[in-house]
Homo-oligomer: A and B are copies of this chain.
Amino acid sequence: MPADLEPTTGIAGAGAVLRLVRHGAATTRGDLVNTTGLARSTISQRVDALLSRRLLVAEADAASTGGRPAQVLTFNRDAGYVLAGDLGATHARLAVTDLAGEILAEEAHDIAIADGPEAVMAWLEAAFERLASAVPEGGGTLLGIGVGLPGPVEYASGVPIAPPIMPGWDGFPVARRLRERFGAPTLVDNDANLMALGERTRAWPDTEHLMFVKVGTGIGAGLISHGRPLRGAQGSAGDIGHIHVRDHDDVLCRCGNRGCLEAVAGGRALAAALNAAGIEVRSTHDVVRRFREGLPEVTSMIREAGRQLGEVLAASVNAFNPAVIVIGGDLAEADEPLLAGVREVVYQRAVPLGTRSLRIVPSTLRDRAGVVGAAIMAIEHVLEPDAVDRMLAGS
């Protein structure tokens, strides 16, 4: 049964009232009565519960003239905070945000995800402790945690499943461990899904169908469909890095298959090819640095990687018909040759209806897309109507 068909009598409907105020559909008790058709007494009961939990704040309407001024209700973004982390293969970006997803404090670190879950999780927990202590006085309590990982994640359980670049993490209960450690609802997702969510929320709020492509050491994508993340049946949607590309069956991928997109066009593949050509690089960052130095062979190699990516994105345009494709990730710092290669193939190979209004653009949030998306994922989860009702019932 859709959520909006659920019973909404009594205090149990306070979450739905909060949503109306958060989305700007109502700013006074009178608005809420008009919008919902509920009795004024019912609305007052729910608003009072939200005020006492400080999820709403009320102030007299200065614009009101004559009689008793109506109270204006506002969502209180400082009623609590969330912890957010975007863990990549070699870097991590962490933040604590208010309930509007605004960053209150943040950290960036080099890490090695391949050190395994015990080492990385212990480090992450300590870093989250530090960040939580940076929340200003009056910032409320920890309401939720969101984490992105660089591999396939079963979203419902928050567990990575057979992640190719995360040795030791297969089946590790990431969400459960953080939930037990911090006593807050914790969601874990693939990093590209979170980049899609962050970029869409901040840069493309009116776009219903968006694809975010992360081109870093590996390649992955996140899809937004009908305005919400499309994770698929097990949460592996968007895993385009292991799609078979043409004429590269000689290339072995770290997943065990041959000719995967990321084994041909990912940052790791480019670094290996440059090293083989006598141009010393150690990371995707180094590849971008060499590009910025103006080495023509690096530029043409990145453009060719864009073409390979473009083959897969042309197929994705046919299959999914996004309005916008956002290209992010470390290699996208060299966005000119990368996007040129992508556009060349997509506009030639995808169906006309799919490319007629398609935009292919670089990321706006750049290396913050994932951590912002992780915060938004946590916030939307803890503020959904049912969760708010449970929060109020428990407090």
For residue A137, CB closer than 8 A to chain B, the reply is no
CA distance A206 to B8 in the complex (A): 24
A7 partner, pick from B34, B223, B237, beta carbons under 8 A: B34
For residue A64, CB closer than 8 A to chain B, the reply is no
**What 1/0 flags go to A214-230 for Cβ under 8 Å of B?**
00000001010110101
Residue numbers in B under 8 Å from A62 (CB-CB) = none
B230 touches A354 (CB 8 A): no
Task: Please give the distance in Å from A212's CB to the nearest CB on chain B.
Answer: 13
Given A234-B321, A238-B319, residue A314 in contact with residue B244 (CB < 8 A): yes
Given A9-B37, A25-B5, A234-B353, residue A315 in contact with residue B208 (CB < 8 A): no
For residue A250, CB closer than 8 A to chain B, the reply is no
Residue numbers in B under 8 Å from A30 (CB-CB) = none
Residue numbers in B under 8 Å from A357 (CB-CB) = 233-234
Residue numbers in B under 8 Å from A319 (CB-CB) = 221, 223, 237-240, 243, 316, 319-320
A241 to B, closest residue via Cβ:
B318
For residue A349, CB closer than 8 A to chain B, the reply is yes
Task: Please give the distance in Å from A242's CB to the nearest CB on chain B.
Answer: 5
B1 touches A321 (CB 8 A): no
B23 touches A1 (CB 8 A): yes
A258 to B, closest residue via Cβ:
B349
Residue numbers in B under 8 Å from A232 (CB-CB) = 209, 320-322, 354
Residue numbers in B under 8 Å from A208 (CB-CB) = 233
For residue A57, CB closer than 8 A to chain B, the reply is no
Residue numbers in B under 8 Å from A316 (CB-CB) = 319
A229 to B, closest residue via Cβ:
B226
Given A230-B226, A315-B315, A322-B232, residue A161 in contact with residue B349 (CB < 8 A): no
For residue A300, CB closer than 8 A to chain B, the reply is no
- Number of A interface residues, CB 8 Å? 69
CA distance A312 to B246 in the complex (A): 12
Consensus secondary structure, chain A interface: loop
CA distance A341 to B353 in the complex (A): 30
A320 partner, pick from B230, B312, B318, B321, beta carbons under 8 A: B230
A354 touches B25 (CB 8 A): no
Residue numbers in B under 8 Å from A356 (CB-CB) = 161, 234
A13 to B, closest residue via Cβ:
B37
CA distance A223 to B370 in the complex (A): 27
Residue numbers in B under 8 Å from A2 (CB-CB) = 23
A353 to B, closest residue via Cβ:
B236
**What 1/0 flags go to A141-169 for Cβ under 8 Å of B?**
00000000000101000000110000000
Task: Please give the distance in Å from A233's CB to the nearest CB on chain B.
Answer: 4
Given A23-B1, A226-B228, A230-B226, residue A243 in contact with residue B318 (CB < 8 A): yes
Residues of A within 8 A of B (CB): 1-2, 4-5, 7-10, 13, 19-20, 23, 25, 34-39, 42, 152, 154, 161-162, 208-209, 221, 223, 225-226, 228, 230-240, 242-244, 246-247, 255, 257, 311-312, 314-316, 318-323, 349-354, 356-358
Sort A-B residue pairs by CB-CB distance and give the 9 closest, nearest first: A232-B321, A233-B323, A236-B353, A237-B321, A4-B4, A243-B315, A9-B37, A152-B353, A161-B353
| 25 CB-based A-B contacts, threshold 8 Å | A1-B25, A5-B20, A5-B23, A5-B25, A8-B36, A9-B35, A13-B37, A36-B37, A37-B38, A37-B39, A162-B351, A225-B226, A226-B226, A226-B230, A232-B354, A233-B357, A234-B354, A235-B321, A236-B318, A236-B353, A237-B319, A237-B320, A238-B319, A239-B354, A246-B246
